[in-house]
Amino acid sequence: MNLNKQLLSIGVTTALLASLSAPAWAQDIPRMPSGKPDLNGIWEFPYVPDMSTKGNGRNMIGPGELPFTPAGKLNIERYDSSAGDYTGACFPFGHVRSMNSPNPVQFFQTDNAFAYLFEVNTWHHSFPIGGEDITMDLPESWYGNSRGDWEGDTFVVTTRNYNGKTKLDTVGHPHSHKLTVTEKFTLRDANTINYEITVEDPLYYTQPWSNQRVFTRMQDGLGLLEYSCEENNRGMWEGRLQAPDYENWHTYEIEE
């Protein structure tokens, strides 16, 4: 066999091995010009009011009973949403609770930056991909400080430095300012993302635990909708606040 035929044979064999080693679904996904999977778009996900629930199959799988520390167990036992929840006062939901909401999210991706645009109260969260890890050098915040990295075709987002003022989900699972969240996004095809989130908080949990679910690309073409949260808005229904009289609303025009 001459050299050209040997090189051709080696190339064909290498390509075949590569195709066999990669899952079939990983070979047919949208990609950026750089070759990285393209997560841009608007994505819907299941509402997850309780991250511990073992779930309903492919759409959401929780861990079951959570590994609380004594402080974590006391925190959840004392939580009473009927006595008031911070979201009812229009404070930021926070990172994890926004990802657990029933509202979609839009992803914006470049080769060196990523952003979540949440429909819920139109909050956003942006962060760099790669580079120096500065997540702990920034001020604590409601959504924490994130950085993205690639592990093969899986996009991994690590977030730290939360202010500890939010809950993980609707039922009130707690977290502290020591929380570290690791999210993994893996495109299965053009319209489906496998999502895994891991919670690590040494103050409230004795070990890390994870929740998995599936995101689907929004197909209705409506995009994100307006979301308005007004603090103490029940006063309008009780008569303490009055809606504007739009029928008699004055329009002032500038005279030329």
- How many angstroms separate the CA atoms of 221 and 106, rounded? 13
CB 44 within 8 Å of CB 218: yes
Decide the pairing of beta strands 124-128 and 113-118: antiparallel
In whole angstroms, how far apart are CA 249 and each of 237, 244, 246, 252? 21, 8, 5, 10
Q: Which residues are CB-contacts of 55 (< 8 A; sequence separation ≥ 6)?
A: 61, 62, 212, 213
142-146 contacts at long range (C-beta below 8 A, 24 or more positions apart): 142/91, 142/92, 142/94, 142/95, 142/166, 143/92, 143/94, 143/95, 143/98, 144/95, 144/179, 144/181
- How many angstroms separate the CA atoms of 97 and 99, rounded? 5
Q: Which helix (H) or strand (E) holds 13?
A: helix 3-21
Whole-number pLDDT of residue 27: 62
Q: Structural domains in the chain? A: 25-220 (2.40.128.20)
Which residue type sits at 99?
Answer: M
Give CA angle at 212 (189, 44), nearest 5°. Answer: 55
E-assigned strands of 30-179?
41-44, 60-61, 105-109, 113-118, 124-128, 145-151, 154-160
- How many angstroms separate the CA atoms of 48 and 169, rounded? 7
Question: pLDDT in tens for each of the 256 residues of the chain?
Answer: 554 544 344 443 443 334 334 454 456 899 999 999 999 999 999 999 999 998 666 678 999 999 999 999 999 999 998 888 888 888 899 999 999 999 999 999 999 999 999 999 899 999 999 999 988 999 999 999 999 999 999 999 999 999 999 999 999 999 999 999 999 999 999 999 999 999 999 999 999 999 999 999 998 778 898 888 876 555 544 555 455 454 544 444 444 4
Whole-number pLDDT of residue 28: 85
Total length of the chain: 256
Three-state secondary structure readout of 137-198: CCCCECCCEEEEEEECCEEEEEEECECCCCECCCCCCECCCCCEEEEEEEEEECCEEEEEEE
